[in-house]
Amino acid sequence: MFVVVEIMTVKDSSLCRPAFGERGLRYQWIACTLAGFLLLLPSSLGAQQPDPSASSVQQASAPPPATFSTNAELVTVPVSVRGKDGQPLAGLQKDNFTVLDDGKPRSIAVFEEVHASAPLQPDKAPDRQTFSNRVLPAGPGETHAVEPLILVIDDVNTPMLSQTRAKKGLIEYLSSHLDASQPTALWIFTSNGIRQVHAFTRDTQSLIDAARRVQSNLAHTDEELTQEDLGLTQDDPQGGVTALRNEARFRQANAIRDTLNAFQQIAHALAGVPGRKSLVWLSSGFPLTLDDPRSFSNMGTDFFREYENTWQLLNRSEIAVYPVNLEALTNKTYGATSRPARPGMPGARNAPGAAAIPDRQEESVDSLRQFAAATGGRPCINNTDISECIAKATADSRDYYQLAFYVPHDDTKPGWHKLTVKLDQPHKELQARAKYYFAPASAPDPHGNEVAIQNALASTIEYSGVAFSVRPDTLLKADDKGKGIGQRVSLALRISIPATSLKTLGPQDNLQFDVLMLPCNSSGTGFEDAALRLHLTLPPQKAADAQKNGIAITQRLVLPVGSSLLKVVALNLQDGSLGSVFVPLLQN
């Protein structure tokens, strides 16, 4: 059962206009005010013919603003408990736990004991021409899936030499310790976002082969010139020291933005995967005091929005970050002795009257600790055994208790809040997140939505925040698959958004979605002039029908010569959740 949207083929060019998104992406934008849908009911409607008045296409100046109605934020707190024998402590009840928010008890609204043992199952497509990003959660009484493990090498903040040694340690772990029942993916942080080296798999050898193909890249720290390199002193009369510091700050600011952007992409990609996810972050960290927004007040309000958005997304996606400090992994004496500081560098003696220079290494390690504390992971700072670090992440994600409580928007102060989880039963170890970030409710951010859409299109990983499927009416042929199709083709597509992807709204809310389709060549480069964007608005009554039955959209798209892949992105304008499906257009 679906609310069916028949987007008519537009022949009158006055009904469509070119539109330009962030980064200059050009697309045709069709706004559809869906006031009279044909609703398919389980009665004997059979093969339905759309009512001519069932949909209308109007010229779009811009999508109307969506109504924001939520008045509370759900804070999830996965808790891992070990008994005196070191094994998971099972059979605990909600009343055994107490959650303190800044020292005040919170009512536990969600409680579940999770023991993951079944494989994670993607949604089974009804046929080979249907492509979906849906992952099936375990139902009541069913065995929970083994939570996925994500291994990430940080090329943004990690010097090239450390990247190489990290890869060696990662291969050693995969060769001897990887649990073949746990789906594991290998990704890389880059200045352009997340790059997927290998998708989730239980094939250990394929992961090892993929890790061996990873090439190290220059990080921003590799490209920085130091005062020692230039022979400068603190009192250099030419202002060289000031210029050098300004350049370093600029590079560092870009690296911080790139890192937060990568975490946002990961959160979008895993948003639809149920349960707790463990992310092992192999990094040298970055010098930023994460729990003090004043430390980056000079980076602008846009950065502060990115900062808030990152923590909200990580919380909603239930991602626990396990940072592995690569300084310890690559330097066996790390933490045992202090390295001599170069003139003018952190730890060096400054000239009289000169401002103190923060210790970059200390701040970088602190950022790793803060990520772990804010997400419920464990930091591996001085441990030189990468296998032991990853083993902790794996164990925590297999057996845990899922707790959650609601934070009302009207009486909660924005910013960081301390979390404490107490247990009234004997135990050896209790692992839970130590804090959470609360951002006040705000209207949807059009600029932020545009940036998120472009990141989804540029990503090599599908987003799962909005689950949906795409079915082309046919798969195409090409004489040379590397060159894509040899002529322009008009392809009919059916996009199905299930009821489970349509968030709960207030009775007066419209349901608003943007759907963007971008044809790409075999290397993933988009044909921007051929992109098409649909803006869908359902009034309250139709939105209620869609929440029960789902939405199906039928639309034709003209594919240019060279097309071999179609990227489809769906954005829920109510809460900013995103989903994407990559559709191979060519027959195997």
Residue 15's domain comprises 3-69+462-584
Cβ atoms < 10 Å from Cβ of 235: 11
309 with 390, same domain?
yes
- Where residue 292 sits, what CATH number does that domain have? 3.40.50.410
Strands 149-154 and 277-283: what pairing? parallel
Residues 61, 161, single domain; the answer is no
* CB-based contact 571:28 (threshold 8 Å): no
- Same domain? For 214 and 323 the reply is yes
Model pLDDT, residue 94: 96
Distance CA 355, CA 346 (A): 11
Report d(CA 149, CA 155) in Å as an integer.
Answer: 19
The amino acid that residue 402 corresponds to is Q
Q: Has residue 82 been placed in a domain?
A: no
Query: For residue 243, what are the CA distances in angstroms to 232, 236, 250, 282, 490?
Result: 11, 11, 11, 31, 55
Segments in the chain below pLDDT 50: 1, 6-24, 33-69, 138-143, 225-232, 333-357
Task: Show the beta-strand stretches assigned E in 301-371.
Answer: 319-325
Q: Is residue 289 part of a domain?
A: yes
Q: Which two tokens stand for residue 216?
A: 């190290």
Q: Within a domain: residue 98? A: no
- What is the structure's pLDDT at 55? 35
335, 389, 333, 386: which is closest to 166 by C-alpha? 386
Task: Tell me: do 168 and 37 sit in the same domain.
Answer: no
Give the pTM: 0.79
Whether residue 363 sits in one domain with residue 221: yes
**What tens digit of pLDDT does each residue of 79-120 get?**
999 999 989 999 999 999 999 999 999 999 999 998 876 555
Other Cβ atoms less than 10 A from the Cβ of 177: the count is 14
Q: Which residues of 256-278 are buried (b: 16+ CB within 10 A; e: fewer)?
A: bbbbbbbbbbbbbbbbbbbbbbb
Q: Based on the domain organization, do 363 and 472 belong to the same domain? A: no
Sequential DSSP letters for 145-207: EPPPEEEEEETTTS-HHHHHHHHHHHHHHHHHT--TTS-EEEEEEETTEEEEEEEEES-HHHH
Ranges of beta strands (E only) in 347-433 are 399-408, 415-423, 429-431
Q: Which residues contact 58 (CB under 8 A, 6 or more apart)?
A: 15, 31, 32, 33
Cβ proximity of 62 and 447 under 8 Å: no
Cα(209)–Cα(206) distance, rounded to whole angstroms?
5
Query: Looking at the domain assignment, is residue 95 inside a domain?
Result: no
* Helices 301-317 and 240-270, packing angle to 10 deg: 30
Question: Is residue 139 included in any domain, yes or no?
Answer: no
CATH number, domain containing residue 512 = 2.60.40.1930
Domain count, the chain: 2
Whether 135 maps to a domain, the answer reads: no
Six-digit token pair at 203?
């094939």
Length of the chain: 588
The answer to whether position 112 is within a domain reads: no
Quote the pLDDT of residue 141: 46
Backbone angles phi, psi at 127, to 5 degrees: -155, 175
In a domain, 279, yes or no: yes
Residues 360 and 487 in one domain: no
